[in-house]
Structure 1
Amino acid sequence: MNESLTRSLIEADLSEQDILDTYVDIEVEGSELHLYFNEDDNNLAATSAQSRMFFDSLFAISDMFGMSEVFFYNPDGDIGITVAERLIDEPASVAEERELTSGYYTTYNEELEETLFIPSAKVDEPVADENDEPLSFQATIETMKTIDGGSGGHSVAIVEGIEVKGATFENGIATVHYTVNEEEVSEEDQIVFERAMQLTALDFHAQELHLINETKNVKAIYPLLIDR
Structure 2
Amino acid sequence: MKLIEDILNDLKENYKDERVRDVRVGITWTAVLSRNLGLGYTFTGQIESGVRDVGKLTEKTAFELSDYLKSWNLAEAGIGAAAVNSILKPEGKLCENFDALRNLTEIGKGKNIAMVGHFPHSEDIRAATKNLWIIEKHPAPGDFPAEAADYLIPKADVAVITGTTLINKSMEHLLDLCKENDVYTIILGPSTVMSPVLFDRGVDMLAGCRVIDALSVLKKVSEGVGLVKEFKCDLEFVAMEK
Report the structure number with the largest CA radius of gyration.
1
Asked if Structure 1 and Structure 2 have the same fold, meaning a TM-score greater than 0.5 normalized by the shorter chain, the answer is no
Return the structure number with greater strand share. 1
TM-score, normalized by length of structure 2? 0.28
TM-score using structure 1 length:
0.29
Q: Which has the higher contact order (CA 8 A, sep 6+)?
A: 2
